[in-house]
Amino acid sequence: MHRLTLAQLAEGLRQRQFSSEELTKHYLDRIKKLDQHYNSYITVTEESALQQARQADKRLAEGGAPLLCGIPIAHKDIFCTEGVRTSCGSRMLDNFISPYNATVVENLINDGAVMLGKTNMDEFAMGSSNETSYYGPVKNPWDTNCVPGGSSGGSAAAVAAMLAVATTATDTGGSIRQPAALCGVSGLKPTYGRVSRWGMIAFASSLDQAGPIARSAEDLAIMLNSMASFDPKDSTSIDRAVPDYHTHLSTSVKGLRIGVPEEYFGEGLNPATATVIQQALKELESMGASLVNIRLPHTPLAVPAYYVIAPAECSANLSRFDGVRYGHRCDNPTDLEDLYKRSRGEGFGDEVKRRILVGTYALSAGYYDAYYRKAQQVRRLIKQDFMEAFESVDVIMGPTSPSPAFAFGAKGDDPVAMYLEDIFTIATNLAGLPGLSIPAGLVDNKPVGLQMIGNYFDEALLLNAAHQFQLQTDWHQRHPSSLEEEA
């Protein structure tokens, strides 16, 4: 059953080929047996999952249930889940039991999805390799000596190892698309405001966006149908009708104008990765799409602008974790200042501390204009590049990540080298545009992702183009060799 896609499982449930309870038990057994090799889960909610599955079976028997009813999924541990630990991959929230559900979680519950548990992640979503988690690194199912990407590495690895058919995730600078690329699965970052951020623990509020990770574009469409909604509790939520993404997948790509940015194929891109992406673009061209060379001239400024803006917002958002109201509290503080210092010093890891310091510095008197204001001005220029490009093309495509998955520790001592792993994804977040990554090939038996970037609220177009590509290729059906050897 675990080899079936979400769409196939939904059909199997409706045809009574198996029950949700049987399906959920199957995935729970796989997690018990295999996740010791990958560390993709922080918390497994076995008892409540089986209870939800039984309720889903009753709903399915009545007929008319949503497509997600009875489907076992997992949530990134950044989404608040009522009565379940929500740690954000940090010691700071190791003991935090959320009293409510995030809107994304509630939407999926309403559609009958079954929660298997909470997936591992970089601490407070800060990282590109999933090495900063308090619960230890997630290992890439394609090569357990390599990183799965971050910060949603647990969500991507769980799908790649077939320990969940789909997962929720978040993307602040590439944290859905980059791990999806490195783990050989599909991942979508919707337009900023398309999916509610309420109940999603904030890292950088103007950049964070929730989205799904799954095996195929079709599965992403089914997930997004449930996740996307207007939420009056979220001041950044867009009050705009949500189309049925699943019914918009059958349009041919003939006539689709694909922009290929010069800046995405220069220095820093692994030559073998470039070859894979060029072959994928040629495949789309053979299907009737046209390739248009474009320029996004401010792309080289995306990383430095991001690493001013994101840490500045992080320093503000994480100020609430002080040892007073909830989360980690140091033992026997001598006074209030000692409580703050030791609670935060013990609760946060090195990367989180680094970003808080950088962000506080950038916002401080005398440096705000020189750094933060300037970064926001650059952000506007980056957005303008995209807007000008979309006057002549329908979608922009290129690599998701500069190279396939790298070894643990390879970039840990060089934060800048780690930050450059997001060079092709960060600009999308700065502009608030939707972006998608799908498997496009292999380099040294490691997956390579093709990134698609659309104009605002063009998720249906991206999902359709990705689905049409996947109808002609089988990269999304490839699995790590260790899983191919399973009985």
* 88 membership: H or E segment, kind and range: none
Across 206-216, b (16+ Cβ under 10 Å) vs e yields: bbbbbbbbbbb
Order of all β-strands in the sheet with 435-443? 41-44, 114-119, 72-76, 166-171, 209-214, 186-189, 435-443, 446-454, 395-399, 257-261, 290-294
Q: Are 154 and 138 in contact (CB under 8 A)?
A: yes
Q: From the candidates 90, 129, 155, 175, give the one annotated as an active-site residue.
A: 175
Q: Are 434 and 459 in contact (CB under 8 A)?
A: yes
Across 131-147, b (16+ Cβ under 10 Å) vs e yields: bbbbbebbbbbbbbebb
Total residue count of the chain as it appears in this document:
487
175 annotated active-site: yes
Quote the tokens at residue 141: 């199912």
Q: From the candidates 76, 118, 189, 446, give the one annotated as an active-site residue.
A: 76
Which residue(s) pair with 210 in the sheet? 170
d(CA 182, CA 129): 10
The answer for residues whose C-beta is within 8 angstroms of residue 484's C-beta and 6 or more apart is: none
Q: Dihedrals φ, ψ of 483, to 5°?
A: -80, -30
Quote the tokens at residue 272: 């073998």
Q: Are 41 and 57 in contact (CB under 8 A)?
A: no
Which residue's structure tokens are 């029950």?
19
Q: Are 122 and 89 in contact (CB under 8 A)?
A: yes
In 3D space, the residue among 206, 232, 237, 220 whose CA is nearest the CA of residue 372 turns out to be 206
* 459 membership: H or E segment, kind and range: helix 459-472
d(CA 280, CA 474): 12
Among left, alpha and beta (phi > 0; psi -120 to 50; other), residue 64 is left
d(CA 448, CA 450): 7
**Based on the number of CB atoms within 10 Å of its own CB, is 346 exposed (0-12), middle (13-18) or buried (19 or more)?**
middle
**Helix-strand-coil split of the chain, %, nearest 5:** 45, 15, 40
Q: From the candidates 128, 151, 152, 186, give the one annotated as an active-site residue.
A: 151
Q: Are 123 and 88 in contact (CB under 8 A)?
A: yes
151 annotated active-site: yes
Residues marked as catalytic: 76, 151, 175
